[in-house]
Amino acid sequence: MSLYTKLSDMRTPFISANWKMNKGIEETRAFFSEFVSLVKDAKSREIVVAPPFTSLHTAAGIAKDTNISIAAQNMHTNDSGAFTGEISPLMIKDAGCSHVILGHSERRQYFNETDHLINEKIKSARKHNIKVIFCIGETLQEREDGNTFNILGRQITEGLKDISPEGIVVAYEPVWAIGTGRTATPEQAQEAHASIRQKLREIFGDAAENTRILYGGSVTAENINRLMECGDIDGALVGGASLKPDSFAKIVNYDIK
């Protein structure tokens, strides 16, 4: 099978920004004031932006009635309670979010989030009809040890345990490529995405063919075309290159030639 054979025409490309801990409210307003017009004609793809919590309400207000959806970068499993400093699924919905990013490698690494906890968060999000961008990925050491597929398989199996495929987008982020300027080659990315698709078939059955799998890891306007040509790559989760409206718009408006 060719690296560039698309097996499904039913998977709408999905391009998401993850701003991480960047941009205050005024910076968010400035970004959207320019970005909205730059992507208004991108009707054939789904566009999502994930600002920090403090800017969610502002972003959602500006994005209303546009082709842009808003995601939170994390959430708690509980709807309310004595969890100082946490944000509940009901709160992110109230702020205007339709999506949430869960399982990001930085949450796993710096906040010790486990596959079990991520699974509970996904269940909570879906209970409230919040769509999930579910992140998985291996470290450089795990890749060099030949454990990439084992790690991805475990994260998928445990993270999606007892989860139905509706409202789930998977994002493959090789940890060694996040914010490093190193990007997996199209061949490496497609190989990983194909293995993810196969694991999803084991869990979701035929629905796996319509489950979108994103690539994340130093995605830029210069490499998005090549990545999006790969058969099992259905979009991108973009970090640093999503902080400027022009550079992110170029990624959203990619054109496969």
Q: What residues are labeled active site?
A: 104, 173
Length, in residues, of the chain: 257
Q: Which of 66, 57, 71, 73 is nearest to 34 (CA)?
A: 66
Q: Which helix (H) or strand (E) holds 126?
A: helix 115-127
Distances (CA, A) of 5 to 2, 115, 190: 5, 32, 11
Integer Cα distance of 200 and 154 in angstroms: 12
* DSSP type of residue 3: T
Strands 46-50 and 235-238: unpaired
Q: How many CB atoms lie within 10 A of CB 117?
A: 17
Reduced to 3 states (helix: H, G, I; strand: E, B; else coil), residue 169 is strand
